[in-house]
Homo-oligomer: A and B are copies of this chain.
Amino acid sequence: MKLDEMQLLLRVADTGSMTVAARQLHLTPAAVSAAVKRIEESLGVRVFERTTRSVHPTDEGVEVLDGCEAIVERWQRTLERVQGGRRELEGTVHISAPADSAYQFVGAAVVAVCDAHPKLRVVLHSSDALHHLHRDAIDMAIRYGPMQDSTLAARKLTEWPGILVASPSYLERHPAPRTPDELVAHRAITLQLSSTPISEWILEGPSGARTIDLESPLCGDGFLARHWALEGKGIARKSLFDVIDDLEAKRLVRVLPEYASERAAIHMVFPSRRFVPARVRAFDAAISDVFKERADRCERWMASAP
């Protein structure tokens, strides 16, 4: 039994597909199929119950996969202790980040890490859609909002409320609303993160929480929403953290400043069970630094412009 074969089994189990596992491992489906068959024969145990349409671990398969996972992790840990700083970082790291974060600041941080480590490769998945970390072999992800998947290990990076913003040009043409009720007269820029668009904003203000029903012609991802706001297309609700650059540069102005949506945490997420290798930790450190710096600027902005 080889460690590569164990990782292969884990990939098949995580993705639930030999073909997808093959893609991720840079192998052909035939090779994966043959490997699984070979392993099962050597064990005398069926690891996966499969039709042409699905691949599921058997009861014994779960035992085997647990063992493989523990073993692969132990080996990675050993390798790092032994090779430590000697070996320069290499390999490929898959990072998932919301589009707006990726374009604004994660991208730059990632480039800096790659520049420092020539053998390191990165695939930055910029999408607001929630990636399944296990399924897609994502090594780390940045996620806004509450954590739900308990099989993931998350570390909170920072936490900020959503605020309403518009460009100065837009506000010249459309006087800023003075109460939440006046928002209906404005063009709201809304988000469609997953399949269904978000059609309401919950705003907390001096008079408690208010729910605003929206009828918005402009609906896109976080990056589009911010750019539409910059272009004066309407009022967007964004995390303060995402628009701090624009607020500092006065490209965007806060609207209804006494109202804000609930503080939402931003997490760095890892596929829990797996050991986090040094190459991933390098990106983690760099991105965390960027978040720290941005969070400081958010603090200062909040203090200066209450």
Contacts and interface: CB of A to CB of B under 8 A. Distances in A.
Interface in A76-106: 77-79, 81-83, 86-87
11 contacts: A1-B3, A2-B2, A2-B3, A43-B82, A44-B83, A44-B86, A63-B81, A64-B78, A64-B82, A67-B75, A71-B74
A67 B63 contact: no
Given A60-B82, A82-B60, A82-B63, A75 B1 contact: yes
Interface of A: 1-4, 43-45, 60, 63-64, 66-68, 70-71, 74-75, 77-79, 81-83, 86-87
B74 A67 contact: yes
- Counted per complex, copies of this chain come to 2
A71 B79 contact: no
A296 to B, nearest CB: 39
A61 to B, nearest CB: 9
A270 B2 CA distance: 27
Nearest to A65: B78
Contacts of A43: 79, 82-83
